[in-house]
Amino acid sequence: MKTTATVLRSMGHKSPFAESKPLKRVELELEPPQPGELLVKVRAAGLCHSDLSVITGKRPRVMPMALGHEAAGEVVEIGSAGSAFSPGDHVVLAFVPACGDCPFCRQGRPALCEAGAAANHNGTLLGGHHRLQDDGGNDVHHHLGVSAFSDHIVVSERSAVVVPNDLPFEIAALFGCAVLTGAGAVLNTAAEALPAASIGVFGLGGVGLAALLAAKSQGASEIVAVDRVPRCNDRDRRHGR
């Protein structure tokens, strides 16, 4: 089938990107999902600073790449019978697929999955495959196994987590990067020190705000939030923090 994706063909672009225009919306061939994979219709996606870092080249990736890694969507098709997923499931996409079998996964540290890191480095799905091709028949790489800025994507089941159907997609999408990164930092590394400890959060984008919410939820005795962008500070003042 065809999908419309947002493709970056080279890195090193300067901002403002409205002028350098590094991204192109293009129609690509999307192969059907194979066993262990899902076809997902993307319903919401977020722009993360890590996307911009690929565009500038600060966080180099293999080119060309269908960009985007923070998304939620709806399962359209499953690649194998007996899957734990069903068409119609709402899913959040995770930017590190966890194989479940490597030493880190077995230790309960899936964010450090070796196979997931290798797939992300190579711009493939977990398992080493590409499911995207351009009109010349050349592979287009997957961004962190997700390629969120597309209308349909094929992903490893290991990149997807089912969420309740009544959770709005635009909120669910934030769990794909901002919440797991920001709240994850607080809940996984700072929780033991809470609520006695005070917490400083530097930078109030999606990640920082998620960290702030998690610190608040854990009853941190004091939260100091800092951002050099005035409108972020204004937002804090409006909410009385």
Residues that bind Zn ion (CB under 5 A): 48, 50, 99, 102, 105, 113, 177
Question: Least separation, in Å, of the C-beta of 26 and Zn ion?
Answer: 22
Closer to Zn ion by Cβ: residue 140 or 173:
173
Question: Least separation, in Å, of the C-beta of 126 and Zn ion?
Answer: 9
Closer to Zn ion by Cβ: residue 66 or 102:
102
Closer to Zn ion by Cβ: residue 3 or 50:
50
CA-nearest of 107, 146, 204 to 6 is 146
Closer to Zn ion by Cβ: residue 153 or 177:
177
Question: Least separation, in Å, of the C-beta of 51 and Zn ion?
Answer: 7
Question: Least separation, in Å, of the C-beta of 176 and Zn ion?
Answer: 8
Burial code (b: 16+ CB inside 10 Å, e: under 16) for 6-42 equals bbbeebebeeeeeeeebbeebebebeebeeebbbbeb
Report the alpha-carbon distance of residue 163 to residue 39 in Å, rounded. Answer: 16
Cβ partners under 8 Å of residue 99, min gap 6:
105, 113, 114, 115, 116, 126, 158
Closer to Zn ion by Cβ: residue 28 or 177:
177
Question: Least separation, in Å, of the C-beta of 132 and Zn ion?
Answer: 20
Burial code (b: 16+ CB inside 10 Å, e: under 16) for 53-74 equals ebbbeeeebeebbbbbbbbbbb
DSSP state, 191?
G
Confirm if 131 and 30 have CB atoms less than 8 A apart. Answer: yes
